[in-house]
Amino acid sequence: MGDTPDNDDLAIRVMAMPADTNAAGDIFGGWLMSQMDIAGSVFARRIARGRVVTVAVDSFQFKQPVFVGDLISCYASITRIGKTSLTVHVKAFAERQGKTHENIQVTEADLTYVAVDDNRRPRQIQKGCISV
């Protein structure tokens, strides 16, 4: 539960800041969910070669808390590609700032995106030109 995934793509990296805390001073779960969705959409957009929209969060699991100053790295991989949609598995790791600089998995989720055209209508994903 500490190594970053070797076969997944780094989608985003962001530092948890004091403005991202809840009333108790912990990083707000909604902030982390937002970062995971951004990471998934960055990856999905690359695969779909164009605009995508989030249509479902199929699963979301918080494994460890996130603290102010943690460097959050979100890694993504494809789990399913359909005609117009794709499902992305995203894992988030926190690099703890301190003496050890430990790196632990804090979250993972499965998110589904639909590729859309300029009129925001679903469009077919060209499977022949998919490269990760």
Q: What b-and-e string marks burial along 56-85, b requiring 16 or more CB atoms within 10 Å of the CB?
A: eeeebeeeeebbeebebbbbbbbeebeebb
Report helix, strand or coil for 29. helix
Element holding 39 (H helix, E strand): helix 29-48
In a domain, 31, yes or no: yes
How far apart CA 121 and CA 110 sit, in angstroms, is 23
Q: Say which CATH number the domain at 122 has.
A: 3.10.129.10
In a domain, 104, yes or no: yes
How far apart CA 91 and CA 108 sit, in angstroms, is 4
pLDDT at 4 over 80: no
Question: Rg (Cα) of the chain, in Å, rounded?
Answer: 16
Contact assessment for residue 71 and residue 17, using Cβ atoms and an 8 Å cutoff:
no
Q: Work out the average pLDDT over 16-20.
A: 95
* Structural domain range at position 86: 9-129
Q: 44-92 pLDDT, tens per residue?
A: 999 999 999 999 999 999 999 999 999 999 999 999 999 999 999 999 9
Report helix, strand or coil for 65. coil
What is the pLDDT, as a whole number, of residue 128? 58
What's the structural domain count of the chain? 1
In a domain, 93, yes or no: yes
Position 1, amino acid: M
How far apart CA 86 and CA 82 sit, in angstroms, is 6
What's the whole-number average pLDDT of the chain?
A: 90
Contact assessment for residue 91 and residue 75, using Cβ atoms and an 8 Å cutoff:
yes
Banded model confidence at residue 25, pLDDT cuts 50, 70, 90: confident
Banded model confidence at residue 130, pLDDT cuts 50, 70, 90: low
Q: 91-111 pLDDT, tens per residue?
A: 999 998 876 778 999 999 999
In a domain, 101, yes or no: yes
Banded model confidence at residue 24, pLDDT cuts 50, 70, 90: confident
How far apart CA 3 and CA 30 sit, in angstroms, is 24
